[in-house]
Structure 1
Amino acid sequence: MKKALSTGFTSLPLVAALAAPASALTVGDVNVPDTYSAMDTELKLNGAGTRSKWFINLYIGGLYVPETVDDGDAVINADEPQAITLHIISGMITSEHMTEATTEGFERATDGDLSAIQDEVDQFLSVFEEEIKEGDVFDLVYLPSEGVRVLKNVEVRGTVGDLEFKKALFGIWLSDKPAQEDLKEKMLGQQ
């Protein structure tokens, strides 16, 4: 099942239903909330860490799940509400860099075979076409009945894919070939 990435603004009640309230963990200078409401499911912060490259801290990634889990494959394969948040902490991240890095992540997570989800990947990457600035926050919220809802600064930018797309997307951080091994471990609460 393919879902188009729809664009546009959403109503405040929907944004409020997806908002992440309380703060429990500080990573760098970022307060990472300890819960995330994904529609009618209260998700718990499983773990969070910093994505770095060439000694530059780029973003803080947080993983939210219904129940604590330390197994990346279990998270990737679960057909249940989950979320990953990305708090941009560097002005070095541009739209072009984010698109390139995410494309590489999809390729690693799928062993280079994007054929089944290429349309969804292209739709997802369009979210990064708009300028990315330090302080931006991306929420990638998987809802089994909808797909992956993509928010930028609590504004819904669209919904894309299904479970197969979600597996590849979450695999960017949690697969056997993650973007960064110690970030994966922190998101899984292993450090």
Structure 2
Amino acid sequence: MPTRRTILQLPLLAWAALGALGVRAQSATPPEISTELPTALAAGSSRMRFFGLSIYDAKLWVTPGFKAATYAQHPLALELTYLRALSGKAIAERSLTEMRRAGPLPAATEARWLAAMQAAFPDVKEGDRITGVHLPAVGARFYVNRQLRSTITDAEFSRLFFGIWLSDATSEPRLRQELLAGVPG
């Protein structure tokens, strides 16, 4: 027979259970990542700021066995949720600038990659999401607000693009460290 104390604890237990369900729902794997990388787990997240302005929230999803030092050899996904409006052209141009940090690129390659990114990245507003999926030795797929928008079948492009966030040469080492926070070793 339940005691008065047990009866009084029931609402607290129910509240705790609902809270736990809410946390799980918020951290659920997005459908495009579940489809592309069924075994992916969230590794870390961070907020990108530029001169104090919040630009986007980033979340890295990795597959079992992922190692940061060899990120380009592992399937992964990077989800960016924009916190302000930006033009797709500006996103593509900044991405190319960051990709150049790995070394000079032939002009024809730069032109081809810039055109591909301008097609992949639309103008974004607060709340829009762009998810990039790195497929080793294949290239990258880009989803905008959960819908497939572009596939770039160029493994070197994909390595350098995701290197913007994951390479040791990144311009944002704090962001990299936070994205990789849940990666063992």
Instruction: Please classify the TM superposition score into its range, dividing by the shorter chain length.
Output: 0.7 to 0.9
- When you count helix as a share of all residues, which structure comes out higher? 2
What stretches of structure 1 of length at least 5 have no aligned partner? 1-21, 26-30
More contact order relative to length (CA 8 Å, sep ≥ 6) = 1
In 1, Cα distance between equivalents of 2:136 and 2:99: 20
Aligned residue number for residue 17 of structure 1: none
Share of identical aligned residues, percent? 23
1:43 pairs with 2:68: no
Q: Closer, same or farther in 2 for the Cα pair 1:62/1:44, shift >3 Å?
A: same
Aligned residue number for residue 95 of structure 1: 88
Q: 1:144–1:162: 8 Å Cα contact kept in structure 2?
A: no
Aligned residue number for residue 70 of structure 2: 74
In 1, Cα distance between equivalents of 2:166 and 2:37: 25
Q: Which TM-score applies when normalising by structure 1?
A: 0.70
1:138 alignment partner, SS class: strand
CA offset digits 1:137-159 (Å, max 9, x no partner): 00101234752111100111110
In 2, Cα distance between equivalents of 1:189 and 1:97: 29
Q: Which TM-score applies when normalising by structure 2?
A: 0.72
Read off the aligned partner of 1:153 and give its amino acid letter.
N
In 1, Cα distance between equivalents of 2:23 and 2:133: 18
1:57 pairs with 2:54: yes
What stretches of structure 2 of length at least 5 have no aligned partner? 1-21
Aligned residue number for residue 123 of structure 1: 116
1:107 pairs with 2:100: yes
Matches within 5 A, 1:128-143: 128=121, 130-143=122-135
Read off the aligned partner of 2:76 and give its amino acid letter.
Q
**RMSD value, Cα:** 2.9
**How much has 1:181 moved relative to structure 2?**
1.3
Q: 2:39–2:64: 8 Å Cα contact kept in structure 1?
A: no
| Number of aligned residues | 159
Q: Closer, same or farther in 2 for the Cα pair 1:189/1:69, shift >3 Å?
A: farther
